[in-house]
Amino acid sequence: MRNNFLSRLNLLTRFTLVSFILLAAIAVILIIGIQQRLENNALQQEANSAADQVALILNPNLRAEDLTGPLTPTRFTAIDTLIRTEILFGHIVHVRIYSPDGTLIYSDEPNLVGQQFPISEELALALNDQVGMSISDLSKPENVTERGQYSRLLEIYVPLHPVNAPDQVLGAYEIYHDLDVVQPNIDEMRLYVAVSVGIGFLALFFGLFFLVRNASRELVLRNEENSRLYQETKKQVIELQLSEEKSQRRYQRLVALRAIDEAISASLNLTLTLRVFLDQATAQLQVDAADVLLFNQSTDVLSFVAGRGFRNDGINASMIRVGDEDAGRVALERRLLNIPDLTLAKGFTRPTLVTDEAFHAYYAVPLITKGQVRGVLEVFHRSSLSPDKDWLEFLEGLAEEASIAIGSSELYNSLMHSNIQLSRAYESTIEGWSHALDLRDKETEGHTRRVTEMTLNLASMFAMIISEEQLIHIRRGSLLHDIGKMGIPDTILLKNGPLTDEEWQVMRKHPVYAYEMLSPIEYLRPALDIPYCHHEKWDGSGYPRGLKGEEIPFSARLFTVVDVWDALLSERPYQKGWSEKEAREYILEQRGIHFDPKVVDAFIKMLEQGG
Q: Are 406 and 536 contained in the same domain?
A: no
409, 493: one domain? no
Residue 308 · residue 338 · CB < 8 Å: no
pLDDT at site 259: 59
Question: What DSSP designation does 184 have?
Answer: H
| Residue 134: its H or E element | strand 132-136
Of 159, 186, 213, the domain-final residue: 186
Question: What is the 3-state secondary structure of 479-495?
Answer: HCCCHHHHHCCHHHHCC
What is residue 547's predicted lDDT score, i.e. its pLDDT? 95
**Residue 45 identity:** Q
Q: What is the pLDDT of residues 319-335, one digit of tens each?
A: 888 888 788 888 888 88
Q: What is the DSSP-derived secondary structure letter of residue 114?
A: T
β 372-381/337-339 pair status: unpaired
Higher pLDDT, 548 or 393: 548
Cα(375)–Cα(365) distance, integer angstroms: 9
How far apart CA 134 and CA 132 sit, in angstroms, is: 7
Q: Same structural domain for residues 395 and 490?
A: no
pLDDT at 261: 59
Name the most confidently modeled range: 174-178, 184-188, 267-271: 174-178
Q: What is the domain count for the chain?
A: 3
pLDDT per position as a tens digit, 326-371: 888 888 888 888 888 888 877 677 877 878 888 888 888 888 888 7
Report whether pLDDT(487) > 90. Answer: no
Looking up residue 322, the CATH number of its domain turns out to be 3.30.450.40
30, pLDDT greater than 90: no
Nearest CA to 55 out of 43, 47, 45, 66 is that of 47
Q: Is 234 within a domain?
A: no
CA 232, 233, 237, 240 dihedral sign is positive
- CA Rg, the chain, in Å? 40
* Structural domain boundaries enclosing 311: 245-414
- CB-based contact 96:107 (threshold 8 Å): yes
What confidence score (pLDDT) does residue 534 get? 94
Residue 223 lies in a domain: no
CA 38 – CA 609 distance, rounded (Å): 10
Confidence of residue 554 (pLDDT cuts 50, 70, 90): very high
Same domain, residue pair 400 and 458: no
Q: What is the chain's mean pLDDT, rounded?
A: 81
Q: Is 361 helix (H, G, I), strand (E, B) or coil?
A: strand
H helices of 65-182, in order, are 73-86, 121-127
The residue among 514, 490, 473 whose CA lies nearest residue 439 is: 490
Amino acid in position 128: N
Per-residue pLDDT, 137: 67
Which tens digits make up the pLDDT trace of 494-505? Answer: 777 788 889 899
Torsion 483-484-488-493 (CA) sign: negative
CATH number for 554: 1.10.3210.10
Instruction: Indicate if 51 and 178 belong to the same structural domain.
Output: yes
Rounded mean pLDDT, 475-485: 89
198-207 residue pLDDT tens: 788 788 777 7
Lowest-pLDDT choice from 33-42, 233-242, 258-267, 522-531: 258-267
> What is the SS3 string spanning 83-103?
HHHHCCCCCEEEEEEECCCCE
Give the integer Cα–Cα distance in Å for 48 and 133.
9
243: CB partners within 8 A, 6+ apart: none
Same domain, 400 and 490: no
How many residues comprise the chain? 611
Reported pTM:
0.40
Residues 369 and 459 in one domain: no
Which residue type occupies 430? Answer: I
In a domain, 115, yes or no: yes
pLDDT digits (tens, 9 = 90+) for 129-155: 888 888 876 666 666 666 666 667 888
Shared domain for 458 and 385, answered yes or no, is: no
User: Which comes out higher in pLDDT, residue 458 or 280?
Assistant: 458
CA distance 207 to 485: 50
Query: Do 258 and 141 reside in the same domain of the chain?
Result: no
Q: Is residue 206 part of a domain?
A: no
262 & 312 share domain = yes
- How far does Cα 469 stand from its chain's mean position? 12
Please say which residue of 138, 155, 186 terminates a domain. 186
CB 380 within 8 A of CB 395: no
| Run of H or E residues at 460 | helix 447-460
What band does 447 get if pLDDT is binned at 50, 70 and 90? confident
Query: For residue 208, is it within any domain?
Result: no
Q: Looking at the structure, tell me whether residues 138 and 282 fall in a common domain.
A: no
Q: Decide if 174 is inside a domain.
A: yes
- Domain CATH code at residue 39: 3.30.450.20
Task: Please report which confidence band the pLDDT of residue 588 belongs to, taking 50, 70 and 90 as the band edges.
Answer: very high
Domain presence at residue 590: yes
* Residue 449 and residue 407 share a domain: no
Percentage helix, strand, coil, to 5, in the chain? Answer: 60, 15, 25
Asked, for residue 165, whether it belongs to a domain, the answer is: yes
8 — pLDDT class (breaks 50, 70, 90): low
CB-count burial class (<10 Å; 0-12, 13-18, 19+) for 446: exposed
